[in-house]
Structure formats: structure tokens, C-alpha cells
């Protein structure tokens, strides 16, 4: 990496390129806008990552059981992940826009300003949107991980008197720990690189 500032000029024109050292980095890290951007990323990740892990694991555990229409529900949860973000944003705008379905349903109880342009609600709404969009992918990861958790562990826990909740925390959660690590890392990386969804949702 060069530490000089370069200028685009006509051929044959000489322009000084002064030595700037690390001043570019100093300018970035002392810029209040950059600081605010990092804070926004932190707030987003605090909401999005735990929500993604908890919801995807709970849904994967439910879909791993022998329930009716299991294939349909698996496809339904995965569909938003493979759908274009612009189409999903249109759905979200229809629901939570200023004249959206939710506001019309709430009437006078709707927030003002609306959900996606409210300084107190917009970040949470973006985090919920991203969680909903990516949920299907993480559910599939957990479903794959659950295949490696032996049924005999659940049977042993049941014999010991553990109910479904106890089995979830004592057998399922430890059994999918490697998958949880992968989900957390992936959610942090994608969340820290987020751009199009907030831009499209908030205009």
C-alpha cells in the first residue's frame, strides 16, 4: 500500500504527491461519521446475531421432528433466502411503510414517524428483516447438524425424566455447538458488510 496521495492529471503534467504517512488512518478514525457507522454496526449485530441463532435453532429443532407438512415448512422458511432482496424489501415496505398494512391496522396507535424511518425503530426493523431473510439458510445448517445428534441421547434423557425443554438445552444445544459457532461467525461477517438492505428499506 502506498502512503502518497495521487492526483489524476493530464499526461506530462507534474503534481506534487506529498508524504502523508498514517494521516489517512488518523483522518478515518477521528471522523465522527465513521465512528457512528461502527456504532450502528455494533447495535445491529447485538440485535441480529442472538435473534438469528435462537430463532434458527428453535425452528430447526421443530422442523426436525416428525410433523405434518414438514417439507412444506422447510421450503417456506428457505424461500426468503433465495429471493432477491429488492422483492423482499417491497414486501416489507408494503407491511411497514408509512401507509403500509401494519400502520393501517394499528390506526392511531401506529408509530409516528413510521417504522422504517423512525430513529428509534429503524435499526431494529432492519435487524428483523435481515434475520427473516437469512433464517432459512441457518435453519438448514442446523437441520444438517441435528442429523449428527444421536437419537439415543434423547431417549436416555427421556428415561432420566427430562422433558422437551430440558432435552433441548441438555442435548440439542451442546450437540450443535460447532454449527452454532459457524452461524455466529457467518452472521457477524454478513451483518458487518450489510448495505443494500438498509439503503433500500430506509430510502
Give one DSSP letter per residue of 68-129, joined into a string.
TTHHHHHHHHHHHHHS-HHHHHHHHHHHHSTTSHHHHHHGGGS-SS-GGG-TTTHHHHHHHH
Q: What is the mean pLDDT of the chain?
A: 87
Give one DSSP letter per residue of 1-61, joined into a string.
---B------TT------B-TTHHHHHHHT-HHHHHHHHHHHHHHHHHHHHHHHHHHHHHH
- pLDDT digits 0-9 by tens, 122-178: 999 999 999 999 999 999 999 999 999 888 988 898 888 888 899 999 999 999 999
User: Which of 141, 156, 128 is CA-nearest to residue 186?
Assistant: 141
Q: Is the pLDDT of residue 3 over 60?
A: no
What are the extents of the domains in the chain?
32-202
Considering the domain 32-202 in this protein, what is its CATH number? 1.10.3720.10
- pLDDT digits 0-9 by tens, 12-24: 666 677 777 788 8
Amino acid at each position: 500500500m502506498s502512503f502518497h496521495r495521487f492526483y489524476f492529471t493530464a499526461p506530462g503534467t507534474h503534481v506534487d504527491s506529498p508524504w502523508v504517512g498514517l494521516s489517512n488512518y488518523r483522518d478515518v478514525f477521528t471522523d465522527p461519521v465513521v465512528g457512528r457507522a461502527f456504532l450502528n454496526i455494533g447495535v445491529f449485530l447485538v440485535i441480529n446475531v442472538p435473534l438469528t441463532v435462537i430463532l434458527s435453532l428453535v425452528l430447526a429443532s421443530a422442523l426436525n421432528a416428525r410433523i405434518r407438512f414438514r417439507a412444506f415448512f422447510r421450503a417456506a422458511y428457505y424461500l426468503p433466502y433465495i429471493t432477491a432482496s429488492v422483492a423482499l424489501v417491497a414486501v416489507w415496505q408494503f407491511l411497514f411503510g408509512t401507509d403500509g398494512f401494519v400502520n393501517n391496522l394499528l390506526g392511531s396507535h401506529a408509530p409516528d414517524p413510521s417504522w422504517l424511518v423512525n430513529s428509534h425503530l429503524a435499526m431494529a426493523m432492519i435487524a428483523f428483516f435481515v434475520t427473516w431473510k437469512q433464517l432459512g439458510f441457518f435453519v438448514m445448517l442446523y437441520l444438517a447438524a441435528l442429523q449428527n445428534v444421536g437419537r439415543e441421547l434423547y431417549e436416555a434423557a427421556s428415561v432420566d425424566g427430562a422433558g422437551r425443554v430440558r432435552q433441548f438445552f441438555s442435548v440439542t444445544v451442546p450437540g450443535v455447538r460447532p454449527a452454532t459457532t459457524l452461524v455466529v461467525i457467518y452472521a457477524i461477517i454478513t451483518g458487518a458488510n450489510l448495505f443494500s438492505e438498509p439503503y433500500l428499506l430506509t430510502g
